[in-house]
Amino acid sequence: MDLLRSEPMQLVQLIIPIEAAHRSISYLGDLALFQFKDLNENKSPFQQTYASQVKRCGEMTRTLRLFKEQMMKAGISPPTRSTKDSGLDLEKLEVKLKELEAELLEINANNEKLQHTYNELVEYKLVLEKVGEFFSSAQNNAVARQRELEVQPIVETSIDSPLLMEQDATCPIKHIKLGFISGLVSREKSIPFERILFRATRGNVFLKQAIVDHHVQDPLSGDKVHKNVFVIFYSGERVKSKIIKICDAFGANRYPFSDELGKQFQMMTEVSGRIAELKTTIDAGLLHRSTLLQKIGYQFESWNLLLKKEKSIYRILNMLNINVTKKCLLAEGWCPISAARQIQKVLLQATMECNSQVGTIFQVLQTKELPPTYFYTNNFTCSFQEIVDAYGIAKYQEANPGVYTIITFPFLFAVMFGDWGHGICLLLVTLYFIINENKISSQKLGDILEMVFGGRYIIMMMALFSIYTGLIYNEFFSIPFELFGPTAYGCRDPSCRDSTTIGLIKVRDTYPFGVDPKWHGTRSELPFLNSLKMKMSILLGVSQMNLGIILSYYNAKYFGNNINIWHQFVPQMIFLNSLFGYLSVLIIVKWCTGSQADLYHVMIYMFLSPTDDLGENQLFVGQKFFQVTLLLLALIAVPWMLLPKPFLLKKQHEERHKGQSYSLLYSGEDPLESESNSIHLDHKEFEFSEIFVHQLIHTIEFVLGAVSNTASYLRLWALSLAHSELSSVFYDKVLLLAWGYNNTIVLIVGIIVFICATVGVLLVMESLSAFLHALRLHWVEFQNKFYEGDGYKFSPFSFTSLTDEDGI
């Protein structure tokens, strides 16, 4: 099977003729089986061979970003359907994009110009309206006041009297020419504007402002802002220049205004007419623009895809070495040995199509570098492999726990989640995902849904196994069923109606599969199930840990490491099995013989006083002698694990090192060299202590771990107990209680509460916690026996894995 060990890989050198390079890379990207090594890591981006093409791609993506932004502004969304290849190549696309960009920019510039004029005219119109109003009201006031003045010639100043007209009226002889400036200023700036005006002219101006109710588009920036119309009256040229400067500084647009009514009217009509004209022109421009954008939007996705591909191809091309003659490119990278033929075929095809005179040379390199880890996975296995990868990527060709995980993971989960009713619920959910797989995978899902969808096959396996264990536990939402025939137990005499009381006797053959339904609800139900599940957990745990240690044997054998076999695998096997393997044997013997022996007692006194008589706890003949032997074996195994390996490693190293030091001595009497040599030796000496400490830690971890890991497997029992108790609580205290009231409404409420609790607590939360515990059992208790997990993943160059960020 492919999954047992990662694919054998090879480091390959490709010499690609330069004319076929682009196409070759493109084909390799489609194939997605070649991981390129970056041969130009220390070159800065602009020194690379294909820097100019990368620049061009960058420029084109910028254009596409511009289009996208414009489309967003115009409210056109590009069609997201997967578009077919547009048949364009990069050069044509570049020309086309440039044309379109120029056109779009021109339209935009025209529109902007028109909009600018339009906004100015709108503002002008506002000024005309507001200032006109002001002038006419001031005139009316002035006329009225003059009449008053004629009646009573005492000059009376009040704040709301119009200053200008009054001056005009009271001292007409002086003929002071009062000028005025009118315009618009944005509202938030109006107060500082007024303040600065006041300060700059020492109060010798009259400012009148009127609020414009709606937003006005500023002609310069195009933003919509609140504005005030103002008129400033002043006298003198110096003040005028000052005011104009201040107006400029505040971004206040000035507009000419005439105080003659006739001219005002004429200007008003003129402005309104031009506004209407401009409006139609602008609308036509906008329509033109949106048709252009729609045209762009239609092909946007395919261009984007093409650019993404091109960019990634050039990124790869930049990783390659160009040789001196500039006729071919040198690529290095990893590929699975099994894919070599495919790759060669594709490369040949590429060179043929490009009419290249020489073919691509495919050459396998010898290397000491650790190759990447690659597993051929499919839809089903990939999520299980993911569980293992989340802990650490397997070392190259290391035994892959992923294979065993496919069965053991859902099984351990199911041990904790044993209820075939709940299992069926899970199965239905996951079947929905699996059946609609194709439809859902093309959609964008939320975070949580994505996770559930990604693990759909895991959930399916978990559901199947929990149906299986549920049948063994005989639980269906905590209700027992007599599925496999009638119960084996019956009343001793017809008078006992209540099956929970004592006095049941075995009337038939043993219930054929799983737990007898009669156990449910009896007083001895819990002690019985606890004893069953606890022992089962230990059996499962010991066997899984044994599997882990055996895998470490296969690893050692595969990598030819005899020290690990004899001084790690063997003592570990002996230690674990002489203690907990023996316990498992005792459990099975007890089950088979129906003995009353107390296993706790046996295990504890095996350590405390191994020579004592076992008494009634004896399960088989010669048990005492057997136990003492096992104990001695376990005691021997500990130093065996600890001591030989580091010393053997040291010896091995010294043997290898000896040759080196001889050759170095021969090579020269250089004091420098011998010095460096001694440093070298010191370094190695130092490493020995490190190895020894490491081995010490490893041994302690294993010895303590054998106890604690076995205890850790008891979580299987604990969680399964919690699950069944919770579900029986919901069934008894909610559903049956509601049933007891004989009231439809109470019953409906009860059913709703029951369903919510079942789904929320049992199906979601309990399954999550069981999932986590199963995960832990795999990562810690199982994988720490053998798994190194310090490899790195094979990440081939592939077009399908290009993400959105690569493009826009």
Partner 1 sequence: MYGFEALSFNIHGGYLEAIVRGHRSGLLTTADYNNLCQCETLDDIKMHLSATEYGPYLQNEPSPLHTTTIVEKCTLKLVDDYKHMLCQATEPLSTFLEYITYGHMIDNVVLIVTGTLHERDVQELLEKCHPLGMFDSIATLAVAQNMRELYRLVLVDTPLAPYFSECITSEDLDDMNIEIMRNTLYKAYLEDFYRFCQKLGGATAEIMSDLLAFEADRRAVNITINSIGTELTRDDRRKLYSNFGLFYPYGHEELAVCEDIDQVRAVMEKYPPYQSIFAKLSYGESQMLDKAFYEEEVKRHCLAFEQQFHYAVFFAYMRLREQEIRNLMWISECVAQNQKSRVHDSVVFIF
Residue 55 in contact with partner 1, rule: CB under 8 A: yes
Cβ-proximal residues to 576 (8 Å cutoff; 6+ apart), any chain: 542, 545, 546, 549, 706
Position among 99, 156, 248, 259 found at the interface with partner 1 (CB under 8 A):
248
Residue 686 in contact with partner 1, rule: CB under 8 A: no
Position among 2, 19, 30, 59 found at the interface with partner 1 (CB under 8 A):
59
By C-beta, is 97 or 387 nearer to partner 1?
97
Distance CA 798, CA 313 (A): 10
Residue 249 in contact with partner 1, rule: CB under 8 A: yes
What residues between 92 and 121 interact with partner 1 by CB under 8 A? none
Position among 187, 226, 242, 653 found at the interface with partner 1 (CB under 8 A):
242
Residue 240 in contact with partner 1, rule: CB under 8 A: no
Distance CA 803, CA 808 (A): 10
Position among 11, 32, 163, 246 found at the interface with partner 1 (CB under 8 A):
246
Distance CA 682, CA 665 (A): 17
By C-beta, is 194 or 687 nearer to partner 1?
194
By C-beta, is 91 or 260 nearer to partner 1?
91
Q: Which tokens go with 304?
A: 């984007």
Q: Which region among 56-64, 340-348, 393-401, 662-670 touches partner 1 (by CB under 8 A)? A: 56-64
Distance CA 553, CA 559 (A): 10
By C-beta, is 59 or 437 nearer to partner 1?
59
- x/- binding map, residues 183-202, to partner 1, per CB under 8 A? ------x--x---x--xx--
Distance CA 666, CA 164 (A): 112
Cβ-proximal residues to 369 (8 Å cutoff; 6+ apart), any chain: 11
- x/- binding map, residues 137-176, to partner 1, per CB under 8 A? ----------------------------------------
Size of the site for partner 1 (CB under 8 A): 24
By C-beta, is 64 or 212 nearer to partner 1?
64
Q: Which region among 47-55, 318-326, 369-377, 686-694 touches partner 1 (by CB under 8 A)? A: 47-55
Residue 222 in contact with partner 1, rule: CB under 8 A: no
By C-beta, is 47 or 562 nearer to partner 1?
47
By C-beta, is 47 or 140 nearer to partner 1?
47
Q: Which region among 27-35, 50-58, 536-544, 694-702 touches partner 1 (by CB under 8 A)? A: 50-58
Distance CA 310, CA 57 (A): 8
Q: Is 106 left (phi over 0), alpha (psi -120 to 50) or beta?
A: alpha
Smallest distance, partner 1 to C-beta of residue 415, A = 46
Smallest distance, partner 1 to C-beta of residue 797, A = 20
CB atoms closer than 10 angstroms to residue 623: 17
Element (H, E) at 216: strand 216-217
| C-alpha dihedral (109, 111, 115, 116), degrees to nearest 10 | 20
- Find out whether 394 and 787 touch, Cβ atoms under 8 Å: yes
Distance CA 437, CA 248 (A): 65
Position among 113, 224, 245, 508 found at the interface with partner 1 (CB under 8 A):
245
Positive or negative: CA dihedral 219, 222, 223, 224: positive
Distance CA 403, CA 384 (A): 8
By C-beta, is 253 or 544 nearer to partner 1?
253
By C-beta, is 199 or 684 nearer to partner 1?
199
Q: Computed over its alpha carbons, how large is the radius of gyration of the chain?
A: 44
- Find out whether 560 and 795 touch, Cβ atoms under 8 Å: no
What residues between 250 and 289 interact with partner 1 by CB under 8 A? 250-251
If DSSP codes are grouped into helix, strand and coil, which group holds residue 141?
A: helix
By C-beta, is 69 or 89 nearer to partner 1?
69
Question: By C-alpha distance, which of 251, 258, 261 is closest to 231?
Answer: 258
Distance CA 27, CA 212 (A): 64
Using CB under 8 A as the criterion, which residues of the chain lie in contact with partner 1 when the complex forms?
44-47, 51, 54-55, 58-59, 62, 65-66, 189, 192, 196, 199-200, 242, 245-246, 248-251
